Amino acid sequence: MSAVVWTAAGSLLAWLWLLLCQGFFWRTDVRLPPRRDPDAWPSVCVVVPARDEAAMLPAALPSLLLQDYPGRAEVFLVDDGSSDGTGDLARELARRHGGLPLTVGSPGEPPAGWAGKLWAVRHGIGMARARDPEYLLLTDADIAHAPDSLRELVAAARAGGFDVVSQMARLRVESAWERLVVPAFVYFFAQLYPFRRIGGVGTRTAAAAGGCVLVRAETAERVRIPDAFRHAVIDDVALARAVKRGGGRVWLGLADRVDSVRPYPRLHDLWRMVSRSAYAQLRHNPLLLAGTVAGLALVYLVPPVAVVVGLAAGSAAAAVTGGLAWLVMTGTYVPMLRYYGQPLWLAPLLPFTAFLYLLMTVDSAVQHYRGRGAAWKGRTYARPEAVPDEG
């Protein structure tokens, strides 16, 4: 029983450290920084990579076309080899809704070494470069923006002197599995990349949310976006790292009115979303995988197990220590549930959700070693370390 008590004590210490020393990751008040209207609104080009997104475009693309932006803005949608009429539907939506000018392009099949949507992003940036914009908004085809979204992003970037301003789009939480898994996804992301540290001056923590990234065009060209990380499966984090390495400033926070319209109704859909890139996040390193599994078990699984074992064996020390760790864990999850408008009784279930994420991470590694690699929209990619960097 002493082993259980000591393990539970280790979990409690880990949670106290996370609570106080991990950039207050659990707080959800990191929203767009103070901003003011610039004297002159800079030009912006919006780049939307899209592959088989006909089901999402009617809910997302009009929100971009109808942006209330005082300056010059244009939308470039890159139809990345779609088989469902994505490009034609985009043109039809532009004719129907009007608003900002829309250009639809197609990059052709990506050459070896290009992962995910980055080849399409490169093509879109290339089309936009002819307009000589001051900013680029990189956003996904399943993201719906409030009418003033572009205005707010640009104002924040200009006022704060940021090279990148990114918002974590609010994901859909309608099905039972979405309610259980989605808020935890954002919670775990913030735990890995505390938003307060990302925006701090002189900090090394860097991340962005790929669904909504405003980047200064000069910075994108200087740090070679996306060529510098063309093999990266987790492209948004790689983008932020490239900007920070190049001396730029990055800001990331939660969105108020930038929403993902993509549904994940089944556990299988969410499982595939997470496992697609989980092992890539660990750099395909078995030791990092083992450490992650052990860390998840200690931090998230030990507290409820200690409570159950302590109560069954009559060990007050194990039950109380595990209960305190579970209580701290639950308390840190409450703000995220409130942000997503979910019932607070889901907070004590976080250990179960973390166990699902543990299994998803292991499955990601299994799929990798079976030779399937990371997948995106029907494409599978080789290990990034196998791709030479051409500098």
Do 81 and 198 lie in a common domain? Answer: yes
Domain boundary among the residues 264, 298, 313 is at 264
User: Which residue segment(s) compose the domain that 351 sits in?
Assistant: 3-24+269-368
Asked whether residue 34 is domain-assigned, the answer is: no
Residue 335 backbone phi and psi in degrees, to 5:
-60, -35
Instruction: For residue 286, tell me if it sits in a domain.
Output: yes
Cis peptide preceding 286, ω within 30 of 0: no
Domain boundary among the residues 212, 242, 264 is at 264
Separation between Cα atoms, residue 85 and residue 384, nearest integer Å:
31
Tell me, yes or no, whether 31 lies in a domain.
Answer: no
In this structure, are strands 44-50 and 73-79 parallel, antiparallel, or unpaired? parallel
- Identify whether residues 82 and 230 lie together within a single domain: yes
pLDDT of residue 385: 45
SS3 call for 170? strand
In this structure, is residue 148 part of a structural domain?
yes
* Residue matched to tokens 């109704």: 265
Alpha-carbon span 357 to 289, nearest angstrom: 12
Token digits of residue 84: 């469902």
Specify whether 277 is located in the same domain as 363.
Answer: yes
CATH number of the domain encompassing residue 161: 3.90.550.10
pLDDT at site 11:
98
Same domain, 115 and 236: yes
In a domain, 388, yes or no: no
Is 385 inside any structural domain?
A: no
Which ranges of the chain does DSSP label H, i.e. alpha helix?
A: 2-21, 57-65, 86-97, 118-129, 149-160, 176-192, 195-199, 217-222, 235-245, 267-275, 278-281, 286-296, 302-313, 316-339, 350-369
Counting DSSP H helices and E strands in the chain, the numbers are 15, 10
Beta bridge partners of 144: 259
Give the tens place of pLDDT for each residue, 92-142. Answer: 999 999 999 999 999 988 888 887 689 999 999 999 999 999 999 999 999
Answer whether residue 240 is part of any domain: yes
Global pTM?
0.93
Q: Do 52 and 17 fall within a single domain?
A: no
Q: Do residue 232 and residue 313 come from a single domain?
A: no
C-beta atoms surrounding 210 within 10 Å = 23
Same domain membership, residue 152 and residue 189: yes
Task: Give the SS3 label for residue 79.
Answer: strand
Is 120 a domain residue? yes
228 lies in the same domain as 153: yes
CA atoms within 13 A on the CB side of 304: 15
Per the structure block, which two tokens stand in for 348?
């004590």
Give the SS3 label for residue 289: helix
CB 185 within 8 A of CB 341: no
Are 216 and 356 part of one and the same domain?
Answer: no
Let me know the angle formed at the C-alpha of 198 by 192 and 201, rounded to the nearest 5 degrees.
145
Examine the domain organization and report whether 255 and 275 are in the same domain: no
190 and 148 in one domain? yes
What is the total count of domains within the chain?
A: 2
**Do 259 and 273 share a structural domain?**
no
User: Where among 236, 264, 292 does a domain terminate?
Assistant: 264
pLDDT tens series, the chain, 391 aa: 689 999 999 999 999 999 999 999 999 999 998 888 999 999 999 999 999 999 999 999 999 999 999 999 999 999 999 999 999 999 999 999 999 999 999 998 888 888 768 999 999 999 999 999 999 999 999 999 999 999 999 999 999 999 999 999 999 999 999 999 999 999 999 999 999 999 988 889 999 998 999 999 999 999 999 999 998 888 999 999 999 999 999 999 999 899 999 999 999 999 999 998 899 889 889 999 999 999 999 999 999 999 999 999 999 999 999 999 999 999 999 999 999 999 999 999 999 999 999 999 999 999 988 876 555 666 665 554 443 333 3
Find the helix or strand (DSSP H, E) in which 375 lies: strand 374-376
Beta pairing partners, 258: 145
Edge-first strand listing for the sheet containing 73-79: 102-105, 73-79, 44-50, 135-139, 212-216, 164-170, 250-260, 143-145
Length of the chain: 391
For residue 167, count CB atoms less than 10 angstroms from its CB and return exposed for 0-12, middle for 13-18, buried for 19 or more: buried
